[in-house]
Amino acid sequence: MTQRVFIFDTTLRDGEQSPGNTMNAQEKIRVAKQLEALGVDIIEAGFPIASEGDFESVKQIAEVVKGSQVAGLARANFEDIDRTWEAVRGAVNPRIHTFISTSDIHLKYQIKKSRDEVLKLTEDSVKRAKKYTDNVEFSAMDATRSDWDYLCKVFAIAIEAGANTINIPDTVGYAVPDEFGALVRYVMEHVPNISQAVVSTHCHNDLGLAVANSIAGVKAGARQVECTINGIGERSGNAALEEVVMILRTRKDLFSFDTGIVSEKIYPTSRLITSVTGAPVQPNKAVVGANAFAHESGIHQDGLLKAKLTYEIMTPQSVGIPKSSLILGKHSGRHAFRDRIGDLGYSLDEKELNLAFKRFKVLADMKKDVYDEDIEMIIMDEIVRVPEKYRLAYLSVVCGNMAIPTATVRIEIDGQAHQEAGFGDGPVDATLKAIKKIIKTNSKLLKFYVNAITGGTDAQGEVFVKLEEKGSTVIGKGVDTDVIVASGKAYVNALNKLEYVKKRKAKGF
């Protein structure tokens, strides 16, 4: 029988505490709404006593979020707890999350309390929170470096005082999975009233084991995991929500657990956190990294094209990524190259494919990645030899800071001259508009960029344009010492290619 594991997201509290991840109130509300849509069970919205701004953002989140519990963090004192209640009381299901250190290291050097004093503060603070709400969580900070028997005593008192969630934090990321799993089991076996509470984990990633420890905790009996999107958090971060959720979902053969997370919203949520905090996700990050579903090795690409399961243990769509990426580079093989050519709308015979693949390999040794534009240039310039239906015969431009940019263009269409003038925001815009008037194209300009082939003020300009029409995309190239002329040439070159592609499609190629 599948058991439920509750997901407690602390991106807005622990995640925001890490350097550079500060969010304003509007950003926090936006993130909270996304976490609600993601299916997070509990959103820890902040630490209300920390600042007026934090209090207000927690209060606003509590009022707008309806589908998730909203928690506020409080130290084990009445002032913190009262302030937290004021912030979360407007929630549909408010939670007060109170904590105190239990390790002898913290007792001696940080809070300077005796073990008995901590026991008393635990009892009093949980009772205070319980006056406000039945939804009370208690955390023993630095639990993994605490005396296990003393920790069990603290938890028993917290549950007796009214806590219905007991959290075991690996605050400094010190534990290893076997050890953390054993600690959770010990707590489950030695706290007499443990059946009255949900056991939770909160693992940090200082040794890179936050997710592994969280999973070990679940195996040992924990039924709540505290985590963050992209694993952000203090120092090396927290357990990454996306990794915990997808481990439980992917390895059903090992874990009979489920969560309420809508996994297809994982990637959009990850992107939102990156956008709001400015903290990039490393390319090789599990589940949501840029390379998580990207393949360059020829062997991997070949296997993936034959059957997805050969090299992907979960589908990109399952986490909200549209599709896998076959990255073409020097390690890629013919199978992936042929597949990409087909995706671009071209059909080459074996001789043409061999020639194009040879050129591709030469280019791949020169460039780190080979893009669709590069492949299309190889095909169009070396294989297809596109007929020149349109030719730029004449171009004159008037521009300056006191003149409206105007271009006069003459285009030969199948040898017949046609002339028009165009106005624009600049000389290039005017030129392209004049050409568009003559050719009457419905294509959309997707990209325009300029390179200098040589140095100096007399350098040749190399212009590339990318056009799209009815699902067909082409790249045009133009070279001239005058970048305006090069732009006109590139646009006309692309229009010739579009015309060629349309004729091929009409013939069924």
Indicate the range of 10-24, 110-124, 354-368 predicted with least confidence. Answer: 354-368
User: What pLDDT band is residue 77 in, cutting at 50, 70 and 90?
Assistant: very high
Whether 27 shows a pLDDT value over 70: the answer reads: yes
User: What pLDDT band is residue 381 in, cutting at 50, 70 and 90?
Assistant: low
pLDDT at 120: 98
Q: Which of 63, 97, 66 is nearest to 81 (CA)?
A: 97
User: What pLDDT band is residue 318 in, cutting at 50, 70 and 90?
Assistant: very high
Question: Mind giving me the DSSP string for 177-197?
Answer: HHHHHHHHHHHHHH-TTGGGS
Tens-place pLDDT, residues 176-213: 999 999 999 999 999 999 999 999 999 999 999 999 99
User: What pLDDT band is residue 388 in, cutting at 50, 70 and 90?
Assistant: confident
pLDDT at 172: 98
Beta-bridge partner residues of 199:
166
pLDDT at 143: 98
Chain centre distance of CA 141: 30
**Rounded (10°) CA dihedral 248, 250, 255, 257:** 50
User: What pLDDT band is residue 165 in, cutting at 50, 70 and 90?
Assistant: very high
Indicate the range of 266-275, 284-293, 357-366 predicted with least confidence. Answer: 357-366
pLDDT at 216: 98
What is Dmax (Cα atoms) for the chain? 98
pLDDT at 181: 98
Spatial neighbors of 99 by CB under 8 A, at least 6 apart, are: 73, 74, 75, 76, 138, 139, 140, 141, 167, 169
Please provide residue 243's backbone torsions phi and psi, each rounded to the nearest 5 degrees.
Answer: -75, -45
pLDDT at 215: 98
Residue in the structure block whose two tokens are 């010190």: 174
Radius of gyration of the chain (CA): 31
Most confident of 39-43, 300-304, 354-358, 439-443: 39-43
How is residue 109 written in tokens?
């050097």
Burial class from Cβ neighbours inside 10 Å (0-12, 13-18, 19+) for residue 186 reads middle
The helix, strand and coil proportions of the chain, stated in percent and rounded to the nearest 5, come to: 45, 20, 30
Average pLDDT, the chain: 91
pLDDT at 345: 65
Handedness of CA 231, 321, 374, 311 (dihedral sign): positive
Share of the chain above pLDDT 70, in %: 94
Most confident of 51-65, 298-312, 475-489: 51-65
What mean pLDDT is predicted for residues 161-174? 98
Tens-place pLDDT, residues 429-481: 999 999 999 999 999 999 898 877 655 655 677 888 989 988 888 888 888 88
Spatial neighbors of 28 by CB under 8 A, at least 6 apart, are: 12, 16, 45, 46, 57, 60, 61
- The H or E element containing residue 138 is strand 136-141
- Between 345 and 392, name the one with better pLDDT: 392
Whether 97 shows a pLDDT value over 90: the answer reads: yes
Angstrom distance (rounded) from CA 272 to CA 231: 14
Whether 294 shows a pLDDT value over 80: the answer reads: no
Tens-place pLDDT, residues 323-343: 887 667 777 888 888 888 877
Q: DSSP letter for 229, please.
A: G
Beta-bridge partner residues of 257:
3
- The H or E element containing residue 423 is strand 416-423
User: What pLDDT band is residue 354 in, cutting at 50, 70 and 90?
Assistant: confident
Q: Which domains are assigned to the chain?
A: 3-277 (3.20.20.70), 294-384 (no CATH), 390-506 (3.30.160.270)
Share of the chain above pLDDT 90, in %: 68
Instruction: Report yes or no: 496 and 388 within 8 Å, Cβ to Cβ.
Output: yes
